[in-house]
Amino acid sequence: MTSVQTIKKRKHVRFRRQIPLHLMLAPCVALVLVYAYYPMIGVVIAFQRYNPRLGFFGSKWMGLENFRYLMNLPNTPSVIFNTVFISFMKIAAGLAVPIVYAVLLDLIHHSGLKRAIQTLLYIPYFMSWVILGGILLDLLSPSTGLLAELWRLFGAEPIFFLANPRLFPYVLVVTDIWKTAGYGTIIYLASITAIDPSLYEAAIVDGANRMKQVWHITLPGMAPIIVLMMTLSLGNVLNAGFEQVVTLYSPIVYSTGDIIDTFVYRIGLINNQFGVATAAGLFKSLISFVFIAMGYSLAYRFADYTVF
């Protein structure tokens, strides 16, 4: 009895002594509770006929009606397929290209040139999708674009990449790589520099050429970070890139380019069907949650990684 009281008292004293620390943290906690947790409660409107005047809790409940409505929309299956297809290709390319870049960059002898190339490679990462989109629209225009000019040079009919439903998903992947691959190399290059140089010296003594050194030393040395990036990228299976798609797509390519995020945006904020849009968003959040959790637990198992 007395020991419980002393523990309580001690806890109380400890809390009082730590008031400054709690004050430093309080604004962050408050912001996260309001702007991240309150909207989590707000997902209840996925099960309601939402009425702005009645709010999150006053609106009329209607069970799974919004979900049923979504499932009966003709383009729902294609939106889900597009999301998974585009994000899957982005994940694969987003892993492969930076790894190749990093390996090849590391093989450049001239250290100044190496650093210059590395720095230049991720310039596009610092530019917004609006600016890159503006550049792409101009470059890919079938009438005046640079690429069309090139096509004509070879006597071919220019292709309107951004209005071609068959090609649009690939345009998204290639332009995404353009923007992000250089940035992705940072972490792989760092993992290569951490490899023990004596391994290379020993390999050279043993007569291993460049390719053999890459295969037997560099890649195995990068393996832990590659595994880590693979597992963590699982969380992105439904992130096909909202800002990019919303910048580059148009109704002509909705059939292959419309993704869950753009779908939610149009239904919710353009058509004001808040309940239906929230239901679609909740569908995405729940599935993403499973994949993110899976990614982190695999990362923990295979790469000893913890979030914090």
Pairwise CA distance, residues 197 & 210, whole Å: 14
For the CB of residue 287, give the shortest distance to other proteins in the complex, in Å: 11
For the CB of residue 93, give the shortest distance to other proteins in the complex, in Å: 14
Window contacting other proteins (CB under 8 A); options: 66-74, 76-84, 164-172, 259-267: 259-267
Place of tokens 């999708």: 129
Question: Could you say whether residue 109 binds other proteins (CB under 8 A)?
Answer: yes
Contacts to other proteins from residues 25-54, by CB under 8 A: 25, 27-29, 31-43, 45, 50, 52
3-state secondary structure of 60: strand
Cα-Cα end-to-end distance for the chain: 37
Contacts of 211 (CB under 8 A, 6+ apart): none
Pick between residue 1 and residue 23 the one whose CB is nearest to other proteins.
23
Place of tokens 């990449």: 161
Window contacting other proteins (CB under 8 A); options: 65-73, 78-86, 110-118, 163-171: 110-118
3-state secondary structure of 82: helix
Question: Could you say whether residue 209 binds other proteins (CB under 8 A)?
Answer: yes
Question: Could you say whether residue 113 binds other proteins (CB under 8 A)?
Answer: yes
Question: Could you say whether residue 96 binds other proteins (CB under 8 A)?
Answer: no
For the CB of residue 1, give the shortest distance to other proteins in the complex, in Å: 23
Pick between residue 1 and residue 153 the one whose CB is nearest to other proteins.
153
Window contacting other proteins (CB under 8 A); options: 68-76, 85-93, 164-172, 257-265: 257-265
Buried b (16+ CB within 10 A) or exposed e, 86-122: bbebbbebbbebbbebbbebbeeeeeeeeeebbeebb
Question: Could you say whether residue 269 binds other proteins (CB under 8 A)?
Answer: yes
Pick between residue 1 and residue 154 the one whose CB is nearest to other proteins.
154
Question: Could you say whether residue 278 binds other proteins (CB under 8 A)?
Answer: yes
Contacts of 23 (CB under 8 A, 6+ apart): none
3-state secondary structure of 174: helix
Angle between the 219-233 and 168-193 helix axes, to the nearest 10 degrees? 130
For the CB of residue 159, give the shortest distance to other proteins in the complex, in Å: 16
Angle between the 65-72 and 274-303 helix axes, to the nearest 10 degrees? 90
For the CB of residue 63, give the shortest distance to other proteins in the complex, in Å: 18
Using an 8 Å Cβ cutoff, are 171 and 248 in contact? Answer: yes
Contacts to other proteins from residues 127-146, by CB under 8 A: 127-131, 133-139, 144, 146
What's the token pair of residue 282?
């909740």
Question: Could you say whether residue 5 binds other proteins (CB under 8 A)?
Answer: no
Pairwise CA distance, residues 67 & 87, whole Å: 23
Contacts to other proteins from residues 222-251, by CB under 8 A: 225, 242-243, 246-247
Among 64, 73, 96, 104, the residue binding other proteins under the rule CB under 8 A is 104
Contacts to other proteins from residues 176-195, by CB under 8 A: 178, 182-183, 186-187, 190, 193-194
Place of tokens 């209840």: 44
